[in-house]
Amino acid sequence: MVKAALESLRAIYRGMCPNCGGDISDQELLSSGVCSKCLPTPLIDKEKIYRELIRKGKIGEYARFLEIESELKNFSKFFSSLVGSRPWALQEVWSKRVLMGRSFSIVAPTGIGKTLFGLMMALYLARKGRKSYIIVPTSLLVEHLLEKASIFLKIMAEKGMPRPIVIGYYSTMRRKQIKETLERITNQDFSILITTDRFLYNKFDLIKNIKFDFIFVDDVDSFLKSPKNIDKVVILMGFSPEDIEKILSGGKSNANTNKSTELTQPRHNRVLVVSGATLRGKRTKRIRVFRQLFGFEPGFSPEFVRNIANLFIKSKGDIKRETVEIIKRHGPGCLVFVPQVRGIEYAKEIAESLKEAGIETFVYERMNPKMLEKFINGEYAVLAGVASNRSPLARGLDLPETIRYVVFAGVPRREIRVGVDECNPQKILTLLKALSPLFENKLFKEVAPILSALSKIVPVNKELIERIREADEKKIELEGFAGYVLRVVRESRKLLARIMEDVDFRKITERLDVDVKIEGKEYVLIIPDVDGYIQASGRSSRFYAMGISRGLSIILVDDEKAFYGLSKRIQLAMDEEFNEYTIERALEELKQVDGDREIIKRIRKGEFSVEAVDIIRSALIIVESPTKARAIAYFFGRPARRTINGFTVYEVASGQLILNIIASGGHIFDLTTEGGFHGVLKENGYYTPIYTDIRRCSNCGEQFTDRDECPACGSKNIRSKREVVELLRKLAVEVNKVFIATDPDAEGEKIGYDIYAIVKPYCEDVERLEFHEVTRKALRKALLEPRSIKLSFVQAQVVRRIEDRWVGFELSRKLWEKFKIKTLSAGRVQTPVLGWVIERMEELKKKVPVAEIQLEDGSSFRLVNLPNVDELKEKFKDGKLTALIDNVTFKEETIYPPPPYTTDSMLRDAAQKLGFSVGYTMSLAQMLFESGLITYHRTDSTTVSTTGMEVAKRFLEESYPNLFKPRGYRREGAHECIRPTKPLNVRQLRFYLSSGVIRIPQKLSADHLKLYDMIFRRFIASQMSEAKA
């Protein structure tokens, strides 16, 4: 890729030399990484570059980056000398962050060596005279780390290294040990301190004045059980209690007047690292302290990171017997879940049936470490519980080597009962939301205000609900907010009662993916429990050192409608399918499941070398917009976040990659207005564009280059894309590889090339991702099939931009000279289009007489260029106009549906049917694309992929059986037509958005939905049978 780039593109980037900040060519960026002034003779090897820069006295920013690389090598050698193997790739990534002075939260699977990393980094820093504090959840872990440290200290002594003092405090220490340890702490006579978080809480006065350079919190979930621990760590990092209070009260701390970020160093260069298996820490407002002072927020939740085979069996009526048969066939290491509607008592009945069959089973109602130990040891073959995201069995277990498969004894589902006199707004809202896909436009207009009002008042506390119930029974009014809630509840019930009385409505409820019944004076709503299924089935597929273990889920279907709803929602939320259970299929899956378990066990025993299993890598994904970045981040659960210089970086795990996702904000560079011919040099027969960073006025939004003040309003409050360059480079240093995921067109390719050039000196492994829809499936496919930059696309965009500049600047100057008005402009596209508009206007002025005539039988025809139009008008007024038809023929015609939208046809219809301007339509389409609801909207192709045909098939088989007729509309090129990414019409989309099944980065407006509806209808029609007329 580099060779092609060097041979095919020539450009100069102003001020982008990583070392001196001077001008640099793309060839130099892609080879040695520094400009010819810093290094006249190009070199490739980083160590040689570093030595040459030192020799020439050219120590700049890039030299400091190379120092970090050298420091990392030293750390890796130190690590290897003590541990006996090199660090994992992720451990090297974390090391770079610490060595660069960055605080962060670790996102990584169990077994990757997070705690070992913390200890090794503390020992390494101790050699440099820096103090460290390691905080762990239990005294047992303190003892374990002290034992590890003593082994490493012995090795250090044998190798002639100075031995740092490592001390620890734990509950089973003898009195003499306690006294000695506390004295050492008081006298600061140590290099590394290891304690529990309880010690931090109880003995904080002993350590509050100690200057720790490195603090490592192991198991942040446990640490955050006491939110005050955050305050104590913040003080150890050099901030004051007043800083904390100012942040909690919404103000800015004195220590943080520049919106403290990860790159704004904490006092005294102190680094804080927090670690946890999942980082599902208690949500507390004190998390804001982490975010504002250290620029990161713990938050990674791995539930959406899965590798599961979803199988189903249609129950024949005896769930208990069928559950026993499955577990007898497939063996131990099983979790059994019952639906919430059945409850824990039913789980106990299932457990009894299993015990009678000789299968040891324990009903897991609350955290029970002893029972877990027995399950791990094989004394229990099965644990049983309720499928709910609140169940300890569904949420609290992380046993990747033990849990092989999950059986659902019934479809996971919830039941909500809403009485005709219901006073709980949350229940009424849930019911109306569930029914909303059925409401036609007229009825939905009545329901929408009620839904909006209910959404604004929930959640409502129990005390207020009781007041409303009492007032309703006594037929009295309330005042203030309570009165408003009461009125909304009464209006909601009236509407609900009227809807339920409609006989047709009851028939069409069969189309829902939820079940609605009327039992006495109650509406009973049965809802598929998607969250419960995801949480519970996810116990069988866990994140570990080599990726994501394979898991197996088997559902015994006892409610077909609930299963239909569950499978549809899982497909929409997770891109996962259900397959029918067969013994052969299950056994084949379990082979892979058991193979992964064996690997996990051997990794834990240390039987694999690091080289054999070190396949997880850290990667940076660079997209154009923040919306797209957030959408991608949430494909894999709740991401951890870092805030750097006002930019949000999301960090999340995806299989064998830890992804850091950041938005570039579109173009970073534009042609300079200073130098060459309008920003282009002509040298030796080559045209070389000169690029400089784009700047934007924070006051009026004007975009420009080469100025330090806004040309429109004169403001000096401007932001430069140079900030983005610095950010991307700093992030590229941290990771093992960079993926450029800008939009899949020539403009996106040029943005991608610019990013490629500026980050290449900091990360050798840079590749391009291309996907035409922002969906989990498309992203995964792109990650498996990365490519190089398409230089032909880049060159096309470069030529287009130069043509814009040359034609536009020169024509505009002609207009200024002619009309003496400097606000006039002309351009490559603008001027010819204006000419075309003028020509059309001239043609319109040439009037042509046309008579549109409609006959009594309803048929009509048009007569053009009639010489006697006025005479016809008079006859029509007098009732004397007749038509003689002497030959009538009838013929049947086949009407084929129009092809799916391309950009131009979408813009035309949006203007004609919806009244939207071109710019507005494109902005709406951009949001729909970035939210993962439509494919890329800049395309001239009508091609429909097999994925697109499958979307149409799913919708039509459900809504219009026998009318599906796939058409490919093949055209040359890689692009696809504009189409929906999900088999949902606008009402269904609205429902799944409001119910939370589909999550998107930003709320959609009514106009977004109108455009989506237009695109959806056109696409679905294109995949239907032709009509006869």
**Radius of gyration of the chain from its Cα atoms, rounded to whole angstroms:** 34
* Nearest alpha-carbon partner for 171 in 194, 199, 190, 207: 199
Residue with tokens 């490195």: 214
CB 438 within 8 A of CB 989: no
The single-letter DSSP state of residue 1002 is: S
For the chain, the straight-line distance linking the first and the last C-alpha, in angstroms and rounded, comes to 56
Q: What residues contact 364, with CB distance under 8 A and at least 6 apart? A: 371, 383, 384, 385, 392, 393
* Nearest alpha-carbon partner for 669 in 751, 726, 738, 741: 751
Q: Where are the alpha helices (DSSP H) in 820-942?
A: 830-845, 869-877, 903-909, 918-930
CB 522 within 8 A of CB 418: yes
**Helix or strand holding residue 951 (H, E):** helix 946-959
In 631-679 the beta strands, taken as DSSP E runs, fall at: 640-644, 647-654, 657-663, 669-671
Assigned token pair, 872 = 């016809």
* Nearest alpha-carbon partner for 97 in 524, 699, 642: 642
**Whole-number Å distance between alpha carbons of 36 and 58:** 12
* Nearest alpha-carbon partner for 689 in 757, 768, 739, 748: 757
SS3 assignment for 171-225? CCCCHHHHHHHHHHHHHCCCCEEEEEHHHHHHCHHHHCCCCCCEEEEECHHHHCC
**Helix or strand holding residue 12 (H, E):** strand 12-13
**Whole-number Å distance between alpha carbons of 712 and 795:** 31
**Whole-number Å distance between alpha carbons of 104 and 247:** 19
* Nearest alpha-carbon partner for 727 in 629, 648, 618: 648
Q: How many whole angstroms from its chain centre is CA 539?
A: 22
Assigned token pair, 384 = 């049983």
CB 533 within 8 A of CB 412: yes
* 135 strand-pairing partners: 195, 217
Say how many C-beta atoms besides its own lie within 10 A of residue 791's C-beta.
17
CB 305 within 8 A of CB 636: yes
Assigned token pair, 469 = 């119930």
C-alpha dihedral over 519, 522, 528, 534, to 10 degrees? Answer: -130
Active site residues: 936
Q: Kindly report whether the peptide bond that precedes residue 459 is cis, defined as omega within 30 degrees of 0.
A: yes
CB 675 within 8 A of CB 124: no
Say how many C-beta atoms besides its own lie within 10 A of residue 834's C-beta.
12
CB 691 within 8 A of CB 14: yes
The single-letter DSSP state of residue 1024 is: B
* 416 strand-pairing partners: 525
Q: What residues contact 207, with CB distance under 8 A and at least 6 apart? A: 133, 185, 193, 200, 236
- Is 794 buried (19+), middle (13-18) or exposed (0-12) by CB count in 10 A? buried
Question: From residue 303, how far is each of 142, 220, 958 by CA, in Å?
Answer: 30, 18, 30
Hey, is 461 helix, strand or coil?
coil
* Nearest alpha-carbon partner for 661 in 616, 617, 620: 620
